[in-house]
Structure 1
Amino acid sequence: MATLVLDNGAYTAKTGYSHQDVRVIPNCQFRSKTLRLKTFTANQLDEIKDPSGLFYILPFQKGYLVNWDVQRKVWDHLFGKEMMKVEFPDTSVIISEPLFNFSSIQESMNEILFEEYQFQSVLRINAGSLSAHHYFQTNPLELCCLVVDSGYSFTHITPYCRGTKMKEGICRINVGGKLLTNHLKEIISYRQLHVMDETHVINQVKEDVCYVSQDFYQDMATAQLKGEGNTLMRDYVLPDFSTIRKGFCKTPEDMLFSGKYKTGEQILRLTNERFAVPETLFHPSDIGIQEMGLPEAVVRSISTMPEEMQPHFYKNVVLSGGSCLFPGFRERLQRDVRALAPAEFPVSVLLPPNPVSYAWEGGKLLADNPDYDEMVVTREEYQENGHFICEEKFDV
């Protein structure tokens, strides 16, 4: 029987059969200003010639799946002939859901997967648990790990011991990729150009030019310098969707010879925004969110664990999720946790080659687990026992 792995994130869905490679597609629908009446779903985004002023219709709000109409349309597109060609009665699905998901959402998901799509069997699981499974499979000698999953809506820090989630140690910070993009939109709109409607473009700017500072005050001082002394300033050429399809960053050499700039290029000049926006993950109070930052949350999570296990967690901190892709993220987190952790414990923060699909790859490994059939709920079991059997079997 085929096993479909679907890491159903709030921003992207990572999907693929367990014997194939992953495909990452936007988990939402779009409407464009120019084609107001037409709705595009998931990877149909590539068909939009002018994605300026793109209007996102998201199935997730504040990290929880609330718009089932949009989610169904994305899944229909995903499971349909053009993409996965899913044969539902012969397919098992591993699907991710957020920590502390509401039981009403879980029940709706059970109904849709079993009754509408009629999958043969289902396993609902957290993305963090899939990441932990991936880590334990590739590091069989390790007993503990701490998964830092920094996604679109929030960042979760979850300790695992021998594959079991330690619920008392879970911490959540309400900062994720969406908040960072919105913050960058506000800064640019206040300082330079009104971009509040340009979520798609500014998200691209964030991914291309932002980084995590290793010395915030030093970088702030550099960003205030004039002329060549300001090594942090970057000029970003915005797309016009006729000659420039995708925005790009000017090289420092181009910026020295401003004669190289073409007429008609719309430029965003970015200085301290480049590192001040990702800094929110480390100091949410900078923008008025009264929560601890990531390093404090990691130390707080580990401090709730039994004392003899704590050194194992400090040396196995695993990063996953798209917000971990900022240059300097791993180094800064390692340095800050090292400063807060007890001196006798070694600290090691690990960034996988692709943190976005790390949880999905964990699902792929889980599908080959000899105990996999014991973990799932089959359609027959669901028809016989209803939601009760899912609550009993799924540790979410």
Structure 2
Amino acid sequence: MKVESSESDILVTEPCFNFASISDAMDEILFEEYDFRSLCRISAAELSSYKFVNEDPDARLVCLVVDCGYSFTHIVPVYQGKILKEGVRRMNIGGKMLTNHLKEIISYRQLHVMDETYVVNQVKEDVCYVSQDFYSDIEMARRKGKENKIIRDYVLPDYTNIKRGYIKPVEEMWDKSKTNENEQMIRINIERFSVPELLFHPSDIGVQEMGLGEAIVNSIEATPPEMQPHFYINILLTGGCSLFPGFKSRLCAEIRALAPVEFDVVVHLTSDPITYAWQGGKILSHTESFSDMLVTKTEYQEHGKNFCRNKFGGKET
């Protein structure tokens, strides 16, 4: 990053309820090895909430951050910059599991791609979508030929002529005269929507957890009753998985079906959900109050790891 660490403050995100031993090790590395001047540890949900609430502070009193990330999904209610710990929920399903599941399906049915995580991740991002009517899409996927509006051919990269894979145009799929023998393709059909469906029905692959819509409602119900209507209208989606086409509308429908009828449900999807927390951190780091959130290297050397634990919400030992 070409910065002088001894003259720099660092803002680091960590998961909710992170193990104290991991946090202690990170503090030690940042202060002892990298020699940063001061440190702030905070969750990505708090940074996302900070940016979201500050965009319209009069209307947004609270924020429910739904972070559908790579390794897992976190649902975090935040009020006045503080996490309501009783409402935090975690699903052990994220982009990595979806990619791995797609690798297994393609390897079993067509081509061995178990070692091609990067390529299959691109396939997932390019062709997968969240179904609005799962059983109707299954019926469509069963059709043959041009009647099947879901099936797609995906041209894999060879890193010589094709640097990045792409979806073959639909009109070329059934025209054999436009087939290129040098192209290596895989055909994606039901996988297009069955893979993202795991976020809503983890039990499809034997993961005994709540689906995303159910987990969100369960999280809100764990918060004080007077706050619940506000959380339902301030649901913020972040993380790469929220970029699946149809994700927002499907999630909104799932929550609407489970939420009390007297409450409105509003789901917000940002223009760049992957870097939204970073943007919140950037704004926070330029405020006057940010200096009060820091632990300096001098304080760390004088008081040790317990000072950081107390400052950042951990427990003293």
Check whether TM > 0.5: yes
Aligned residue in 2 for 1:360:
278
Shift of 1:299: 0.3
Counterpart of 1:182, as a letter, is N
Shift of 1:279: 0.3
Aligned residue in 2 for 1:91:
8
Aligned residue in 1 for 2:21:
104
Shift of 1:136: 1.3
2:33 to 89, 111, 116: 116
Counterpart of 2:25, as a letter, is S
Aligned residue in 2 for 1:262:
180
State the alpha-carbon separation in 2 of the partners of residues 260 and 293 from structure 1.
Answer: 42
Shift of 1:260: 1.4
Q: Deviations over 1:48-82 (max 9, x none)?
A: xxxxxxxxxxxxxxxxxxxxxxxxxxxxxxxxxxx
3-state SS of paired residue (1:307): coil
- Please say if 1:279 is aligned against 2:197: yes
1:217 to 125, 135, 144: 135
Shift of 1:117: 0.7
Aligned residue in 1 for 2:48:
131
- Show the 5 A alignment for 1:1-396: 84-141=1-58, 142-395=60-313
3-state SS of paired residue (2:227): helix
Unaligned runs of 5+ in 2: none
Structure 2 length-normalised TM: 0.97
Aligned 8 A contact 1:136 1:163 in 2: no
3-state SS of paired residue (2:288): coil
Unaligned runs of 5+ in 1: 1-83
3-state SS of paired residue (1:131): helix
Shift of 1:163: 1.4
Counterpart of 1:136, as a letter, is V
State the alpha-carbon separation in 2 of the partners of residues 288 and 230 from structure 1.
Answer: 29
Shift of 1:395: 3.0
Which protein is richer in strand relative to its size? Answer: 1
State the alpha-carbon separation in 2 of the partners of residues 366 and 173 from structure 1.
Answer: 28
Counterpart of 1:289, as a letter, is V
State the alpha-carbon separation in 1 of the partners of residues 25 and 33 from structure 2.
Answer: 11
Q: Deviations over 1:121-154 (max 9, x none)?
A: 1001111111111111112111111000011111
Identity %: 57
State the alpha-carbon separation in 2 of the partners of residues 331 and 111 from structure 1.
Answer: 44
State the alpha-carbon separation in 2 of the partners of residues 381 and 188 from structure 1.
Answer: 54
Q: Deviations over 1:304-350 (max 9, x none)?
A: 11111111000000011111111111111011101111111110110
User: How many residue pairs were aligned?
Assistant: 313
State the alpha-carbon separation in 2 of the partners of residues 332 and 251 from structure 1.
Answer: 27
State the alpha-carbon separation in 2 of the partners of residues 350 and 367 from structure 1.
Answer: 24
Stretches of 4+ moved more than 3 A in 1?
Answer: none
State the alpha-carbon separation in 2 of the partners of residues 186 and 119 from structure 1.
Answer: 43
Shift of 1:373: 0.8
Aligned 8 A contact 1:125 1:395 in 2: no
**Which has the higher relative contact order, 1 or 2, with Cα contacts under 8 A spaced 6 or more apart?**
2
Q: Which moved more, 1:226-235 or 1:251-260?
A: 251-260
3-state SS of paired residue (1:308): coil
State the alpha-carbon separation in 2 of the partners of residues 375 and 320 from structure 1.
Answer: 24
CA RMSD of aligned residues (A): 0.9
3-state SS of paired residue (2:301): helix
3-state SS of paired residue (2:162): coil
State the alpha-carbon separation in 1 of the partners of residues 31 and 206 from structure 2.
Answer: 43
3-state SS of paired residue (2:226): helix
Counterpart of 2:4, as a letter, is E
State the alpha-carbon separation in 2 of the partners of residues 351 and 258 from structure 1.
Answer: 41
Structure 1 length-normalised TM: 0.78
State the alpha-carbon separation in 2 of the partners of residues 113 and 137 from structure 1.
Answer: 30
State the alpha-carbon separation in 1 of the partners of residues 161 and 184 from structure 2.
Answer: 12
Shift of 1:257: 2.3
Shift of 1:258: 3.2
3-state SS of paired residue (1:371): helix
Aligned residue in 2 for 1:66:
none
